[in-house]
Structure 1
């Protein structure tokens, strides 16, 4: 029997796979398979509701948060967060200027152009390959001058990722200057084996900025205080289900009628990108994630995985899975550290990922690592090869 330790897609529980095989052939004795039902059917709406309920239960998501399902994948959310949160920021600035100058639309636009040019900042904490890609996408969409790299972990790690700088070394956009439109970070970097130990203290407080986090690879692996985040997103395939959907958890205060996005015409006047409608959070929320054809089977799988955790851990909720994830990571790290002359863990101990254990064999000797991988496969341990950009070995602690 083989065990996959690959980072993506995650192995699915056998019970879920067995249920899926039946559901694909005949869903709830309806005579058609789950992939054949309409995404607008009562059955599809029930699947969406059940999946939302399971996730809300596991993470104790407050009532003032919305859960969205999109086909964007995690990489699509690099763009979606920029499109949506910048649009809200622009409209707030426009409304404030309009209060000051009245109905003079030309003057409003003139002042707004200056404000966007001088004040629009998106803060990115670059701690690994995925947050780097997200920051690069933001720069592509709004221009590099508007993207503030508040920390770049390579600057303290000899040009490589593997640590997180102390918060007092971060150069966040000052709150006294209006702060950023949002602060973005990747909670767990799969390529580099780096994970934030906890929520950054510098992002807390009454006047805290909007915080957006990519939790693709450590979703439902530990307790999260959702209330500290404006947006949390993740591709389902790394920890929750199979490929096909991204899940977004966001404050309802960022959706109409509480917040109004800037009009596409205004964004064009300001030379800012207008996002595709399928990444527009208000549109997706208004249509219960069914604006376009959502892959209901993928939502069903995610729901089955999360419902299984709810049933397994009861009152512990996600705390039960956190205990398991922590223990699995501890066992792997302890085994590696017993043989320092053979193995070397790549990231600093203070930020070691529980989900992706990255290490080198024989000091990074290519032949020794190749032999290690071959030996592991003979023992049924699959997917241990590190990411192509960094090499080495990576054992992923997926659910």
Structure 2
């Protein structure tokens, strides 16, 4: 293989150098620069031979290629753009410009160049694959169009099949997703990515035994959380609740549980009439579903209401936050609200005391703690 690459490189250099009448290129020097991967030096060398206004397409693309390989995308684009003006329908030039545009984050330009390739060669699989990456949203209609076209050209290509199946699944076209994955798996039966992607689709189609059989084999190759979840669900749907619980618990041991897996665990215990554990996991499900920041959001809402003199609404917001998680901040806000805005001193005293009991940070909340202690003393004297 190494000898073949060397021969091809020598052939390219010979053809490149032979095509130039003037000036003469030292092909041995250029070959050495390529061999040692000194592409920046090769670009500088070629630039020293050709004028900036050269119209030689081979020279322009070769200099552009050297800059591209050297990581200088600005100069690479400059020379490929000159070549593009001379040969606007050259696929290699368009691919290079599309690649450079993507690297520089200019997706609109990349779409333009790749779109031109698609017009010239409507059966070019690679360009449709590249175009799909420029439309990351699963709900983007153009992503679906390009995925569909690429899959039609090469239905056995795993990456495109998996991506297309995902788009079908988002649209709840599970039959189509299953068919796309099946065809690709037949072309590459050892592709574990495709096999994993098929499990949630098969679950949706109630092919539970297939999920169990395939999933159990996949779990022997590694503990993938998504696979475990899909197999556990299949066991749940086939009423094998003990096995479902075992797998859901495994996810919990791996710290990979989520609201959904905890919910199914609770249901499984319920069907086994283990109501104690069903209640435990129902509570875990609720805790998992609630953001740890929910209380903070209600504090913010209460502050907004309070600053807008909507004191009743502020009171409701703060108390709603307490239902999720009590923290020093929310007790302090309620205390000052009752004390300074609602003139309910008894309630204020209660929340000031709860604030101190909730152990606020002695360093960060130094001023609030001092104020609270002083205010409690004043309110107690007033009584």
Larger Rg: 2
Q: Say which structure is richer in strand.
A: 1
Structure holding more helix per residue: 2
TM-score of the superposition, structure 2-length normalised? 0.19
